[in-house]
Structures are given as C-alpha cells and as structure tokens.
C-alpha cells in the first residue's frame, strides 16, 4: 500500500460511469418494471452502493475509506428503440480522506452494471458492458484548488567514495 499518512485530509469526490448495451425487448421490460427477477434498477442501485463500500476488500492495496455518500443512477435511453440501446450507469462517491475515491466510484458503477446483467440475462443473452471510466474527480493533489505538493529535494550529485555502495533508500515502491 502507498503511505498516505502525510497527505492532508481533503474532501474527495469521484464520478464513474459505464454502459450496458441491451436489446429492444429488454429495454421495454425495464421501462415497464416487468422483469422475471423483479425490479432490476433498484437492485442495481443497491449493488453499486454495496460494491463501492467494499472496494478495499475487492481491490488489493486499495485503502479502506469511510464513504460519506454513494449515489448510483441508471439512466435508460430516451425514446423508443426497437433495436435496443445503452443504459448509462453512474456512480458518485464522496469522502473526507487522504486518498481519492476513484476506485470506489469505478467499483460501484461496475457492480451495478453486473447486477443489471445478472437480473436481465434470462431475457437478453447479447448484453455487453462497456466504457467503464472516471468522468470526474476532485480533491487532493490533482485539484487546482488544493495546495501544491512540497518540492522534491534536489538530486544528490556528490561523488561516491570507492568503499561506498549505492542502494535506494525508499524501499516502499519496490
């Protein structure tokens, strides 16, 4: 794990999304809430929130975070699409921490899409999940409102003695 102990606690926000491509019949069943397994959209929202909360258990070396809020939304394509369309799954995660919440937002969106896939696979075997990505993040070093990181110390240019060996002193990154 990366040592984040010296980083300041800041408000962190991340939004991630992905797409679930479905056929026309499934899209109609989702709109009418008539799936054989039940209300897939609500199950997806719950699964996404649970996935975001359990990110540190699923992703090795990911810091466990106390999330302030997780919001999962599933947007159906507009209009009548006989051929189907792409549902947009979005997950927003917020916290006050020393490290970002991108992984929590990504995991939440992915797990929500997987839950939808599971709920709908009996109706549409040709579904596919695509375009998982971080859409927005704020807080921490990459945030323009945040303080700049401290400068790095200059490189040591002093000559090495013959009886001296060199080994990196920061073993944390090996």
Active site residues: 118
Calpha distance 30→24 (Å, rounded) = 10
Residue carrying structure tokens 């020393």? 98
Instruction: Give me the sign of the Cα torsion angle 92, 96, 102, 105.
Output: negative
Start-end of H helices in the chain: 24-32, 40-53, 55-58, 102-120
Residue carrying structure tokens 């019949």? 25
Residue carrying structure tokens 């507009």? 78
Calpha distance 18→75 (Å, rounded) = 11
Instruction: Tell me how many degrees the CA angle 35-113-128 measures, rounded to the nearest 5.
Output: 85
Calpha distance 65→13 (Å, rounded) = 12
State which H helix or E strand residue 131 sits in: strand 128-138
């Amino acid at each position: 794990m990366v040592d984040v102990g010296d980083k300041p606690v800041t408000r962190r926000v991340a939004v991630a999304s992905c797409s679930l491509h479905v056929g026309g019949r499934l899209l109609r069943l989702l709109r009418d809430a008539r799936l054989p397994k039940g209300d897939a959209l609500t199950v997806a929202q719950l699964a996404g929130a649970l996935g975001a909360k359990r990110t540190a258990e699923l992703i090795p070396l990911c810091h466990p975070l106390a999330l302030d809020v997780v919001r999962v939304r599933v947007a159906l394509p507009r209009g009548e699409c006989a051929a189907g369309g792409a549902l947009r799954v979005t997950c927003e995660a917020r916290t006050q921490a020393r490290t970002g919440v991108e992984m929590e937002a990504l995991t939440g969106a992915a797990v929500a899409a997987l839950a939808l896939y599971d709920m709908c696979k009996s109706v549409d075997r040709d579904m596919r999940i695509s375009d998982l990505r971080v859409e927005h993040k704020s807080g921490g070093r990459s945030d323009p409102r945040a303080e700049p990181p401290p400068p790095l110390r200059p490189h040591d240019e002093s000559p090495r003695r013959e009886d001296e060996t060199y080994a990196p002193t920061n073993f944390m990154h090996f």
